[in-house]
A and B are shown apart, each in its own frame.
Chain A
Amino acid sequence: MGDELGAIAQRAVDAALAAGAGDAEAYVQDSLGREIRVFDGEVESLTEAGERGVGVRCWIDHRAGYAYGTELSEEGLGRIGQDAVETARIADADEFAAAPLGDGAGAPAIPGLHDPSLAGWTTERKIELAKRIERAAREADDRVVAVETAVYVDEEQRVAIASSTGLAGAFEATSAYAYTQAIAEARDDKQTGLGFGMGRSPEGLDSEEIGREAAERAATLLGARKPSSRTCPVVLDPTVAASFVGFIGGTLCADTVQRGRSLFAGRLGEVVASPALTVTDHATDPAGLNSSPFDAEGTPRGQTPLIEAGELVAYLHDSYTARRQQAQGAAGARTTANASRAGYRSPPSVSTSNLIIAPGSKSFEELLAEAGDGVYVTDVAGLHSGVNPVSGTFSVGATGRLIEGGRLAAPADEFTIASDLQSMLKTITAVASEARWVPFGGSISAPALLLGEMAVGGS
């Protein structure tokens, strides 16, 4: 199968060259996915579909163009090649724009990336898994009155790339995840809670645990009130910590840095965070859903430490940003193999792969004790609209629990936490010892974090 996709990629490259490209690169993706949604013990929807397409980048005298399509016939590829060439002619010349010189064929395979056990699961078994999640959420707590939807999703994906510079590579991967949202009600209050799990196949999904987490998160919030407005210590649970660190990962991508849109621009080697914080981009960890043997340009992947004990040690690069960095005098700057793409419809851009926040040495209880009186945040809303990526200032909606005398106390909702990313990183005073993978807003392994102080907006 990899051979067949590889041949399509090669034909797409040839088509672009024939249309007048100086260099060309093609990315072919073929995936088969299923989504099962269960509500009230019944299947609400069952979707099964394959998707196959090609994206072609080309370069003409340092002008870059991009086109994609789903018609993979000789004629279809010919048109995509022509479109790519036409777009390149509209672009302005950019001295750093050129075909990357990666060699993905040399990248070692990642064991476990493709889990064959997925193929052994029948649709009926997957439906049963989703139903069990829903049941588990209902049974975990009497106050759970409904479960919004239990969703199971999996995908088998094959990717091949080829280029006029001699690159040829292919890999396959599987993924599976599930989530549900429980609704708990008591007296006049209604609250929702999310539970989720992820893995390379349904074998890795614990239905009981996903349901239980959703129920517990919803029920715990019942009777929540607004905390009073104040400045106080804040503990972020792993899902919230992951959201923030995922956002920071975006600001460490070299394209935003080079274009002066990152608050971390020009600060390599500086202490930008508390010594408690170490963050690494880890592209070949089989547990991370964004892992692959080589990046979207064919460069073999690896690990890149970003923040080491508070010090900013690297930005993430693709071949374009590395070339540009070198020209600006950073000798030896090279791609960190962080060219990523959402699929064949969008061209590659620099992005994090899997981010790993190094766990600390304290238990969650010790974090609470250290906070003393403050707020434990279990969920934030509005991160995409409430954070200014350039200035770093943010204000987001939050729910969670009060911390009183070093212990979890009454539930709290309808409040905001606000600060700027820079101050937030510096006020991290402790990192919990247990981390979990969070698939939202990236693929991130995060522990709970204690922030020394933050503005809480409530009543």
Chain B
Amino acid sequence: MTVTRPAVPLIEAELAERVLERALQHGGEFADLFCEERSGLGLAIDESRIERVQRGSERGAGVRVVRGETSYFAHVDGLGEADLERAADTVAAAARGDRTEVQALEAAESRPLQEIAVAPSDVPAERKAELLRACDETARSAGDEIAQVQASYAEGNRRVTVANSEGRFAADDRTRVRLGVQVVARRNGAVETGFETLGGHRGFELVEEGAAERTAERASRIALTLLGADPAPAGAMPVVVGGGFGGVLFHEMTGHGLEADHIQKGASVYAGKLGEQVAAPHLEAFDDGRLPGEWGTDGIDDEGTPTQRTSVIHEGRVTSYLYDLVRARKDGVASTGNGRRESFRHLPIPRMTNTYIAPGEASPEGLISDVERGFYAVSFAGGQVDPTTGDFVFGVSEGYLIEGGKVTKPCRGATLIGNCLEALGRIDAVASDFEMKTGFCGKGGQRVPVGTGQGHVRIGELTVGGTAV
């Protein structure tokens, strides 16, 4: 990892101080200003034709004043002095109470995490079109049964600058690249799909040297495999969850319940469980916003707090919740650097960055060979949880039956369903084959990039909801 050029703030410290003063003119205990400049390019190939080519750019700011339990927030398009003042005045009109003095801002802090070897904006758009054509050809070359291929490429750059009334001033420069390939395969009347993604807080180098083609190849393989699939079984059985995107299970099952907003409202099954044993003693899990190059990685969070590696489960016990500034203040602790926002148009809320179950000792084969009859969920289309009740559901995009300790038939249409604490307590083995994958997480109407990861994991019993009753 090379530490590279620091991010340059989008506005001067003096202007930021004036805006914060203005936001607090009628009162408030805390204020912050979040400035953002973002630009991006997206294109897709469909029916072997490059289409949906889009370019966009935006600049804007959000101003927040916190008083007691209340946040007042306004956002504006534009970063001119008049724009920022307008946002500050809107917020100030609503906020009342004792006034806080704005502390002088230090020189802007910036902690870039990874060298962007090839800035995507330096690569001609035609090269990106070629990449998609290569994905299309690779996916189609997997066989005559491949009926449809769609691939999309997206790059984005976000420059953010945060200033707050406690003297923090920090900037970050974030470049992300993502590729997604979706393949439809047909055989007689049967239709199946395969989907694979590749993404990172990285430059264009991420998708070069055959990485894009390998993504396409895998999407085709999944679709073709599923063509021969039987309906998934229904009922309770042991479930082995694949590495990489299997980590979305931990993200939904445990991660959301550890976000401090749910905890403080008593709307989480993990509320009051700090220090308690919730999983087997071999289970270790982290939220890590500093993993170099990973999809959920940033130098600072969207409140200017440096990101960090937070142990959330150690030896099976809950060790920490995930905090932004507002919730940390309420609990009298420091923010864990999990205050994230989709854009300057959104208030920060506690969000995961990259969450993962640390690798264990077992081998993936060993996890499977111990199962007499069970289900092997290799990958998920997504999942969701109600943190209050802990009830979760996951759509399986690639799954197999395990019979007599062996992976046998592919299954389609499976969903895993269960309750967080029960399922977490039933993780009885974790394999050493660790991998990270990319996803988007929706919460409170905000979508942010997150990384999930793990090696193969076995859950002693979980309900599989298929059609084969």
Interface on A for B, CB 8 Å cutoff? 39-40, 42-53, 64-71, 83-84, 86-88, 90-92, 94, 97, 123, 145-146, 148-149, 181, 183, 190-192, 226, 229-231, 259-261, 263, 345-347, 381-382, 384-388, 390-391, 393-397, 399, 413-420, 455-459
Contacts of B381 in A (CB 8 A): 384-386
Chain A interface SS verdict (over half): strand
Contacts of B414 in A (CB 8 A): 395
- Would A385 and B384 count as touching, CB distance under 8 A? yes
Contacts of B232 in A (CB 8 A): 395, 418
Q: Tell which of A260, A393, A397, A419 has the most Cβ of chain B within 10 Å.
A: A397
Contacts of B266 in A (CB 8 A): 145-146, 183
- Would A385 and B394 count as touching, CB distance under 8 A? yes
B250 within 8 A of A: no
- Would B53 and A414 count as touching, CB distance under 8 A? no
- Would B184 and A87 count as touching, CB distance under 8 A? no
B383 within 8 A of A: yes
Q: How far is the CA of A197 from the CA of B303 in the complex (A)?
A: 33
- Would A46 and B72 count as touching, CB distance under 8 A? yes
B107 within 8 A of A: no
- Would A390 and B184 count as touching, CB distance under 8 A? yes
- Would A50 and B94 count as touching, CB distance under 8 A? no
- Would A146 and B265 count as touching, CB distance under 8 A? yes
- Would A91 and B267 count as touching, CB distance under 8 A? no
Q: How far is the CA of A87 from the CA of B57 in the complex (A)?
A: 14
B137 within 8 A of A: no
Cβ contacts B33-75/A at 8 Å (1 or 0 each): 0000000010100110111111111111000000011111111
Q: Tell which of A40, A92, A183 has the most Cβ of chain B within 10 Å.
A: A92
Interface residues of B in 360-397 (CB under 8 A from A): 380-384, 386, 388-389, 391-395
Partner of A92, one of B50, B128, B235: B50
Q: Which of B22-30, B155-163, B461-469 lies on the face that meets chain A?
A: B461-469
Query: Would you give the shortest CB distance from B48 to chain A, in whole angstroms?
Result: 8
- Would A192 and B413 count as touching, CB distance under 8 A? no
Q: Which of B109-117, B170-178, B287-295, B415-423 lies on the face that meets chain A?
A: B415-423
Q: How far is the CA of A385 from the CA of B416 in the complex (A)?
A: 11
Beyond A191-B389, A414-B419, 14 additional contacts (C-beta under 8 Å) are: A66-B54, A83-B55, A86-B125, A92-B51, A149-B265, A183-B388, A382-B395, A388-B193, A391-B192, A394-B413, A414-B417, A418-B466, A457-B415, A459-B463
- Would B386 and A381 count as touching, CB distance under 8 A? yes
Query: Would you give the shortest CB distance from A68 to chain B, in whole angstroms?
Result: 4
Partner of A390, one of B49, B87, B193, B469: B193
- Would B184 and A261 count as touching, CB distance under 8 A? yes
- Would A259 and B465 count as touching, CB distance under 8 A? no
Q: Considering the complex, give the chain B residue whose CB is closest to the CB of A392.
A: B191
Q: How far is the CA of A395 from the CA of B463 in the complex (A)?
A: 12
Contacts of A183 in B (CB 8 A): 266-267, 388
For chain B, which range describes its interface: under 10, 10 to 19, 20 to 34, or 35 or more residues? Answer: 35 or more
Q: How far is the CA of A417 from the CA of B234 in the complex (A)?
A: 10
Q: Tell which of A145, A261, A395 has the most Cβ of chain B within 10 Å.
A: A395
Q: A67-B56, A229-B235, A418-B467 are in contact. Are A386 and B393 (CB under 8 A)?
A: yes
- Would A46 and B71 count as touching, CB distance under 8 A? yes
Interface on B for A, CB 8 Å cutoff? 41, 43, 46-47, 49-60, 68-78, 87, 90, 94, 125-126, 128-129, 147-148, 184, 190-193, 232, 234-236, 265-267, 269, 345, 347, 380-384, 386, 388-389, 391-395, 412-415, 417-419, 463-469
- Would B77 and A382 count as touching, CB distance under 8 A? no
- Would B94 and A48 count as touching, CB distance under 8 A? yes
Partner of B56, one of A48, A68, A384, A413: A68
- Would A230 and B469 count as touching, CB distance under 8 A? yes
Query: Would you give the shortest CB distance from B34 to chain A, in whole angstroms?
Result: 13
Partner of A391, one of B76, B191, B395, B418: B191
Contacts of B190 in A (CB 8 A): 391
Query: Would you give the shortest CB distance from B203 to chain A, in whole angstroms?
Result: 20
Contacts of A391 in B (CB 8 A): 190-193, 412
Query: Would you give the shortest CB distance from B389 to chain A, in whole angstroms?
Result: 5
- Would B126 and A46 count as touching, CB distance under 8 A? no
- Would B70 and A416 count as touching, CB distance under 8 A? no
- Would B78 and A416 count as touching, CB distance under 8 A? no
- Would A91 and B68 count as touching, CB distance under 8 A? no
Partner of B415, one of A86, A181, A261, A386: A386
Query: Would you give the shortest CB distance from B88 to chain A, in whole angstroms?
Result: 12
- Would A397 and B465 count as touching, CB distance under 8 A? yes
- Would B71 and A457 count as touching, CB distance under 8 A? no
Contacts of B464 in A (CB 8 A): 457
Q: A46-B72, A183-B267, A260-B147 are in contact. Are A382 and B184 (CB under 8 A)?
A: no
Q: Considering the complex, give the chain A residue whose CB is closest to the CB of B234.
A: A457
- Would A395 and B395 count as touching, CB distance under 8 A? yes
Contacts of A83 in B (CB 8 A): 55-57
Query: Would you give the shortest CB distance from A238 to chain B, in whole angstroms?
Result: 20
Partner of A90, one of B43, B69, B412: B43
Contacts of B466 in A (CB 8 A): 395, 416, 418, 455, 457
Query: Would you give the shortest CB distance from B384 to chain A, in whole angstroms?
Result: 5
Q: Considering the complex, give the chain B residue whose CB is closest to the CB of A384.
A: B382
- What are 28 A-to-B residue pairs whose CB atoms are below 8 Å? A42-B70, A49-B73, A49-B87, A51-B77, A68-B56, A70-B60, A71-B59, A86-B55, A87-B53, A92-B50, A123-B94, A191-B389, A259-B148, A260-B147, A260-B184, A381-B392, A381-B393, A382-B383, A382-B395, A385-B380, A390-B184, A390-B193, A397-B417, A416-B234, A418-B232, A418-B466, A418-B467, A420-B413
Q: How far is the CA of A88 from the CA of B54 in the complex (A)?
A: 9
Partner of A65, one of B53, B147, B383: B53
Q: Considering the complex, give the chain A residue whose CB is closest to the CB of B422.
A: A414
- Would B70 and A418 count as touching, CB distance under 8 A? no
Q: How far is the CA of A90 from the CA of B49 in the complex (A)?
A: 11
Q: How far is the CA of A146 from the CA of B263 in the complex (A)?
A: 13
- Would A382 and B382 count as touching, CB distance under 8 A? yes
Q: Considering the complex, give the chain A residue whose CB is closest to the CB of B264.
A: A39
- Would A229 and B469 count as touching, CB distance under 8 A? yes
Q: Considering the complex, give the chain A residue whose CB is closest to the CB of B70.
A: A43
